Structure formats: C-alpha cells, structure tokens
Chains A and B, each alone.
Chain A
C-alpha cells in the first residue's frame, strides 16, 4: 500500500525498522555471527530479490533461510536439487483427478516453488533443464504448466545455495541465470568465538524456538515503502559509474578490471544496488539513498555478475578485490 502522507510513510518506515530488528534478533538466536550476511539476506528479502548463497557444507545456510521464513510466519519450502530432479518436481504438474460428479479432469498440483520462502539447496546439482524451470519463477513470479499460467503469491523469494568445493557432477549455473539473483552471498567459516557459541547452542538440551510475527501483508507493505525512497543524484551517479567501471572496454574501468574481467555487470546490478540502497537508507532513518549506501551493497550485487577472464582465474584474483577496485575507482570506499 503506497502511503501518500509523510506521516504514513514515517509510520511504515518505523515498522520496517522494527521488523528488520526483529528478524535480525530471531535469526541471531539460531544462526551465530555473520551479521553482514544476515543483513544482506534481509535486505534482499525486503527488496523481493532472490539470493544465491555460497558456502561450504555445514555452515548453516539452510538454517538461515528456514529461520527467516519461520520468523515472519511465512510459508517455507525446501527443494533438494539432484541430477534426477525434474522441472515438474519444482513447478508442479497436472494430475488426472476424479470430480464429485464422477468426471475425470486434470487439476494442477502446485510444486514446492509455490511458497513465500523457497530454499533451493545445492542448485548447481540440478540439471540445466531443471535449473531453467526456476528461471520463469525467479523473474516472472509465475509458473506456466500446460499452457496455463499460475501466479506465485507475494512475498516470494528463492534462496539457492551451492557448494563451491564439490564441483564433480554439478552443472554450474549459466551467466544468464546467475544474473537473475539479486545478491550472491558468501557464508564464511565461523570464528573461534562463533564456533564455541554454535557448539554451546546445538549440543545441549535447550531447543531454540523462533518467535513468529508479522506475516506476508507486513512484508508486502515493507516492500512498498522501500520502493518509495528517493534516490539522490550523487547516489545515482555513483551507481552509474560503478556499472560502467565493471566493463573492461569502458573508459571508467580501472586497471584491475581491464586486466582480469571478461564481462561486466548488467543493468540488473544497478537495479539491485539502488533497491538495496533504499532499504539501507530506511534502516538508517533516511528517505533517500546516499552514495555510501550504494557502495555498501556493491559487493553482493556485483559478486556474481562480474565474469573473470582467463588471467583472473589463473592468478586467482577474487571478485571481491575486483569490486573493491571498481568502487574505489567510482569514487567511494567499498
């Protein structure tokens, strides 16, 4: 619901901050540490984007996404991707059913994609055909089966995970599909203190129960208020410079991009940075995006959209280092 008065927008912004803090706290009860990862995941969710979460097994990727759904009292489904997973297993299919009148007809049985929060676990283990089944759902937010389009209820977010160390028998996501993810987040190995906390929480008898609040309507209104935030000209200029700087052939490209990057970011990256910047601005109590907001979300927005060339891969230049160089060249700290 779009508010037309400053007081209405202020009220919504206050609720937004409360919901965000609630989610941050609830997730923090289950998922130890990694504050930046949690914040980026929530930003992505309130911008109604999809995230690709990459990390080694056992780091809590599934727990993180599941807790998000539970804390917001939203429907949650998990798809464990395997090579024999079929598209119909994701989207659903038509089943022949008998009506009360004794007639037989096809009825659509919804797949696990029809949920508010979807976890596609190890998406790179699914075949390209099944991965493509996600494309329409991710981008169009509806599913078409046998010529019939079935819309997916909002809020809708897909969080796909992938394991970077077990590449055998996997099907790496193509660039076109990667670009559909709002953010790519990396789960780091926990620190000593975090690891001790994880052990203390998970090996005892106390079971953590997440407090569920709000719901889909609240999330939808949060999404609306995020979109209402204005973008200042310096922030817009910063985004444009960043996007241009990702392309090795552009004048704005820094040396590290010219040397190690094959393809730069698409306009979707700019959209992601602006939208996430809006959510960050609301969290900061502002109603406009500042240039610093954009710089803060540059790494998750560009992480999967910058394709390194042969030299970059051979010299193991990280995408984070490239993004740092891009943001610095565009006039701001990363």
Chain B
C-alpha cells in the first residue's frame, strides 16, 4: 500500500514538474520572442527609414520593414524554443534549486522511490513561483538601442520632409502640397510620374518668365514682349530667378524653376499641358500655364544637393562659381568683345535677387 501510494505520488509529482517546466517553457518563449520582436521590429523600421532617406526606397518602406522584422522575429522565436531540459536548468539557475528541477525531469521516466522524492522536492520548491515575476518582460540594452534608432531615423525622415516643405514654402508665396514630394530625388521622380492629371498638384503648373521670347505653339504675343509659358506642352527656357514672379501660378513656376542649376537654367523644361495664364511678372511677362503633368521634372530634381535641399540653395551656392568660371573664360582673347558683354549681361540677369530682364532676354 505504501509502495503503491509512493509510486502514485511519484507519477503525480513527476507530472507536476513536467507541467511546471512546460509553463516555464511557454513563458520563456513568449519573453524571448517579445524581446526579438522588440529588436527586429524597430531595427526594420530604422533600416527602412535609412533606405528611404537615402532615396533607395519609397516612404512606406519603414513600416513594411518593421512588420517584416517583427514577423521574422516571431517565427525565429517560435523555432528556437528551448528544450524542457534546458528550461529545467534555467529554472534551477534562476531559483538556485541545485539541479532539483533538472533531476526531477530526468528521473521522471525512470520512476522509483528516489524519483518520487526528487519530484516532490522539486514541486515543493516550485510551488508559489510566479513565472511573470521570474521571467519578466524587460527592455534591456539591445531593444532599447533598436527602438532609439528607429525613432531617430523616423524622426529624421519626417523632419527631412518637413524641411523640404518649409524651404519651398518659405520662398514661395503660395506653397502647395506638391512640395513635399521633392524631399528626395527618387521620391520626387516617383511623384512626378504619378501625377498625371491637371488637378493633382500645383507643382505641375510650370510657369517661367520669358527672357527670351521664344514662343511655341499658337499662344505667342510678341507685341507685349511677353513670353507665355507652356500651354499644352509648350517648351520654355527657365532661367528665372526666385522672386521674379508673383501670384499663385507664379509660385508654382518658381517651385519648378528654382530647382534648376545654372547649367540647367538654360535647359528646356517640359511642363504640363493644358492650362491658362494665371499671373504676370513685374516686367510684364506673363506667368502662365496652370495644371498639367510635368514629365520633365526629373532633371530638375537632380539639382537637389546632398542634404536634400532644393535647387534654390543649390543655384545660389553655385552661381558665383559659375560666374567666376565665365569671367575666366571671357578673359581669353579668343572671345569676341561683343559676346563678352552679352555673357556678362546674362550672369547679371540670372544673379540671385536680380529681377528685371530685357525683352530679348538680356539685362537692361
């Protein structure tokens, strides 16, 4: 009777130890998985934000990378669940049980009076142990670093976008939502290609002051020495400096024009189609062309500098270097004197802050 009772208690205690170890194993898996998720999720967000900042990936990359990291961490945590023997050793080490749980688990299948005593001893020690207290969910160094990196990178990404909006909005009287699309070249290009209708963004309204009355299409008005910017796919030159235009439409034009570097100032910018004149320059030039797609924005976006600033700063910064180079070239004898003056007049006209231009494109 005593022996049967002993064996019965051995089975009971052995099962109890097994249940306790299983519960601890689940708790450890949960805590470990949570920790991995806390590392991988923010790490994915940080990496995605870094890629987005570099212009390699679109804006939504951080979210997707974070979700993917968390999912991978969950799968890894589930796959790497410690074995019952390992969990028993962890319990022994945490509770300083001198291998009681390990021995009970080991002897459970062997049975016998010693196994019963060992299991009972282990169960007595495990009674009242709260796994949540024993294996708490804590944020240690690695998840904290990953989270901080994610927050920092995301904040950088957001601030970078805000800077782009602010810089454009500060130089134009009527900023528009399209300015946010220009934070990175890639994102700007993507947005340009995506915006195909007239009513989507105002930066697709390209307006340029006409320094050279090269009109295209049927809208030319030579008597006013005006240059009408693009109407239905008109091709215009865009050397206009900031402040040369006014009005809502002009601000849109500035947003587009000011991305141009001096070298690209002479380039032809294709602007969107269909629209009407919406403003007039102080010099009488008509700022025109509202709406329409801007498939030619990519070269303009390329004028952005490494810090993501718009071409307003890039133009101002590189103007003097370009003018000095031009002066050096003019100093050579091979340049005809008439042309020298023409070139100097050109640089005076495109100098930052210099507005009035002649009707033939040269400075007054």
Which positions in A face B, CB cutoff 8 Å?
3-10, 228-230, 232-235, 284-293
Contact = CB atoms under 8 A, between A and B. Distances in A.
Contacts of A232: 99, 102-103, 106
A288 B102 CA distance: 10
Nearest to A233: B106
Interface stretch (B113-121, B230-238, B282-290, B319-327): B113-121
A290 B114 contact: no
Interface in B111-133: 113-118, 120-121
B118 A7 contact: no
A234 B89 contact: yes
Nearest to B96: A292
Contacts of B113: 3-6, 8-9
A271 B239 CA distance: 95
Nearest to B107: A230
Interface stretch (B2-10, B72-80, B267-275, B331-339): B2-10
Given A232-B102, A232-B103, A4 B118 contact: no
B85 interface: yes
Contacts of B107: 230, 288
B100 interface: yes
Interface of B: 2-3, 6, 9-10, 85, 89, 92, 98-100, 102-103, 106-107, 113-118, 120-121
Contacts of A8: 113
A7 B2 CA distance: 8
A234 B106 CA distance: 10
A287 B6 contact: no
Contact of B116 (A6, A234, A292): A6
A237 to B, nearest CB: 10
B11 to A, nearest CB: 12
29 contacts: A4-B3, A4-B113, A5-B2, A5-B113, A6-B10, A6-B113, A6-B114, A6-B116, A10-B117, A229-B114, A230-B103, A230-B118, A232-B103, A233-B102, A233-B106, A234-B89, A234-B92, A234-B99, A234-B102, A235-B99, A284-B98, A286-B98, A288-B99, A288-B103, A288-B114, A290-B99, A290-B100, A291-B99, A292-B98
Given A6-B114, A6-B120, A8-B113, 20 more contacts: A4-B113, A5-B2, A6-B9, A7-B6, A9-B113, A9-B117, A228-B114, A229-B114, A230-B106, A230-B107, A230-B118, A232-B99, A233-B102, A234-B89, A286-B121, A287-B117, A287-B121, A288-B100, A288-B118, A290-B103
Nearest to A287: B117
Contacts of A285: 121
B45 to A, nearest CB: 40
A291 B97 CA distance: 11
A292 B9 CA distance: 28
Contacts of B89: 234
